[in-house]
Amino acid sequence: MRHIWSVIAVIAFMASGSVTFAEDVGDPTAVKSEDGKYFDKDGNPTFKVSADGTVDWYTYSGYRRYHSECHVCHGPDGMGSTYAPALKDSLKTMSYGDFLGVVASGRKNVSSSQENVMPAFGDNTNVACYMDDLYVYLRARANDAVGRVRPGKREDKPAAYTQAESACMGKP
């Protein structure tokens, strides 16, 4: 399993060209759906929020995963802390490939005044199996599509999601 996530991290890193930040990561509008997962025009996972506030499953799951693994450092609403940057802001300019690379492999930023270290989570199945969920939730936060609180309404969990989750977590 560790090898699989290392390979995924390398592929994501190579696909992104390096860990750089673009000025614009594209329109987050969902234009396609496959098995309950939404994609933008560039094929990146994205969120879908209905007029009544119902969020897609990935956004909802991303909220839950964020609050189980990420909020301790990055703040309870993605707004950052004195310890780690605001992911709500980062996802405005960070590509999907860069996000996968940073989460899987970690990152170290050193300046004359501080040193910030993002640990690698590629071997942590509670993060690695849900990277798309985290990306979709944070993308929704970055675009002000969802607020600071737990989404009140959500779509049902897709069967394809359950199958992928079980396979990733090593369940039969």
pLDDT at 34 over 90: yes
- CA 68 vs CA 30, 64, 129, 144, 153: distances in Å: 26, 6, 13, 21, 19
- Torsion angle of C-alpha atoms 42, 85, 137, 28, degrees rounded to 10: -30
What pLDDT was estimated at residue 151?
A: 93
The whole-number pLDDT of residue 23 equals 52
* pLDDT attached to residue 24: 66
The pLDDT score that the predictor gives to residue 89 is: 87
Query: 66 vs 2, which has greater pLDDT?
Result: 66
Q: What are phi and psi of 130, to 5 degrees?
A: -130, 25
The pLDDT of residue 1 is 52
- Quote the number of domains for the chain: 1
17 — pLDDT class (breaks 50, 70, 90): very low
User: What do you get for the CA distance between the two ends of the chain, in Å?
Assistant: 15
pLDDT at 117: 81
Print the domain residue range for 68.
Answer: 2-168
| Percent share of the chain, pLDDT over 90 | 59
Whole-number mean pLDDT of the chain? 85
Q: What is the dihedral of CA 133, 134, 140, 146, to 10 degrees?
A: 90
- List the alpha helices (DSSP H) in 26-120: 57-69, 71-74, 87-90, 96-105
pLDDT given for residue 19 in this prediction: 45
Percentage of residues of the chain with pLDDT beyond 70: 83
Partners of residue 55 on adjacent β-strands: 49, 154
Q: What are 128-169's pLDDT values in tens digits?
A: 999 999 999 999 999 999 998 999 999 999 999 999 999 999
Q: What is the pLDDT of residues 86-135, one digit of tens each?
A: 888 888 999 999 999 999 999 887 766 667 788 899 999 999 999 999 99
Q: Which pTM was predicted?
A: 0.83
b (16+ CB within 10 A) / e for 96-116: bbbbbbbbbbeeeeeeeeeee
Which long-range contacts (C-beta less than 8 Å, at least 24 apart) are formed by 43-49?
44/95, 44/96, 45/96, 45/132, 45/135, 45/136, 45/139, 46/136, 46/139, 47/136, 47/137, 47/139, 47/140, 47/143, 47/145, 47/146, 48/155, 49/140, 49/145, 49/146
Q: How confident is the model at residue 45 (pLDDT cuts 50, 70, 90)?
A: very high
- pLDDT value, residue 86: 81
